[in-house]
Chains A and B, each alone.
Chain A
């Protein structure tokens, strides 16, 4: 089970800034272990960010996104106390959803 994400969401004027850190190996599939065996690719493929249930960003990722991914963006209309939910799913089908409220 992956560790919880760390999500920050804060309003700045009329826009809300969302910053998230995710705990994930983001293994490229190009590396070899000590025995010379290729370590299989294991990475987040999809990310969806919703604000009170409405999608404000969706992303498709490849193996080149860094380990323990970071993502930041802004959207308009958010207000203090609104719910931000972020979900990811990786190529093994593991998934995780975490929520926060806008500060």
Chain B
């Protein structure tokens, strides 16, 4: 055992500095990302979402234009920058996607199951209305400073629970959100990882979702981001609109307060 320990001590000293972490590769990737900014296919989702918002749909054949996203019935501008938040009518903290489902049920008469049956679209045959609506509504907060409230006890509780969940390790690989997102300047492969425990890191990450993912050719929402993080954490499947999804969103959105919202974005 002693020998093993000794070797470990030696190993720790002998870590070779990484030369390729900066330099031409990082420069090249930065240029690639810059070149993508001019023309974001997320706009296609925004357009479809705006049409869906205004369209009379569902069993009751009404539009979502009277949906209260927190700033009053029908107010879209800036609404996303103040979500998640506590809603008295639902007696629950809700993120945007959960609130949209609520409005589809209460205003348009959909069943809850119908409203959330396709949260994450794939391809032409399975376009997600929720993603399109989210793209539109978030686009109406572009440039608005994040200002997630913490007035209600349930908002504070969601934040604390979210923080707790951020550090929860589990699964086959012992991964938590914190495994990848609690240190500065780290990467997975070439993908930069935001440090979500700092305001700066949370701001940079949270304000750039939803995003058009060029690797998938799809627009992805923040709920999807959480869903797919947990998949890669080797956890079971995160339920759409669940308490964990909302609490983590609350934790990160609130940490992002003060920064201008800047999405839908475009990412690798």
A and B touch in the complex (CB under 8 A): yes
Residues of A within 8 Å of B38, CB to CB, are 19, 72
Residues of A within 8 Å of B185, CB to CB, are none
Q: Is A58 engaged at the interface, CB distance under 8 Å to the other chain?
A: no
A2 to B124, CA, bound (A): 8
> Considering only CB atoms, which chain A residue lies closest to B217 in the complex?
A67
Q: Do residues A70 and B44 form an inter-chain contact, with CB atoms below 8 A?
A: no
Per-residue contact bits, chain A 44-87, to B (CB 8 Å; 1 contact, 0 not): 00000000000000000000001110101000000000000000
A25 to B43, CA, bound (A): 15
A66 to B40, CA, bound (A): 12
Q: Is B236 engaged at the interface, CB distance under 8 Å to the other chain?
A: no
Q: Do residues A3 and B217 form an inter-chain contact, with CB atoms below 8 A?
A: no
Q: Which applies to chain A's interface (DSSP): helix, strand, loop or mixed? A: loop
Partner of B47, one of A3, A25, A67, A68: A3
Q: Is B72 engaged at the interface, CB distance under 8 Å to the other chain?
A: no
Interface residue tally for chain B (C-beta within 8 Å)? 13
Residues of B within 8 Å of A6, CB to CB, are 43-44, 47
Partner of A21, one of B43, B48, B124, B214: B43
- The number of chain A residues touching the other chain, given as a range, is 10 to 19
Residues of B within 8 Å of A29, CB to CB, are none
Partner of B124, one of A19, A25, A66, A70: A25
Q: Do residues B41 and A70 form an inter-chain contact, with CB atoms below 8 A?
A: yes
Q: Is B17 engaged at the interface, CB distance under 8 Å to the other chain?
A: no
A19 to B212, CA, bound (A): 18
List CB contacts (< 8 Å) of B37-60 with chain A.
38-41, 43-44, 47-48
B-to-A contact residues, CB < 8 Å: 38-41, 43-44, 47-48, 123-124, 212, 214, 217
A-to-B contact residues, CB < 8 Å: 2-4, 6, 19, 21-23, 25, 66-68, 70, 72
- Can you list 27 A-B pairs with a CB-CB distance of less than 8 A? A3-B44, A3-B48, A4-B47, A6-B43, A6-B44, A6-B47, A19-B38, A19-B39, A21-B39, A21-B40, A21-B41, A21-B43, A21-B44, A22-B44, A23-B41, A23-B44, A25-B123, A25-B124, A66-B217, A67-B41, A68-B41, A68-B44, A68-B217, A70-B39, A70-B41, A72-B38, A72-B39
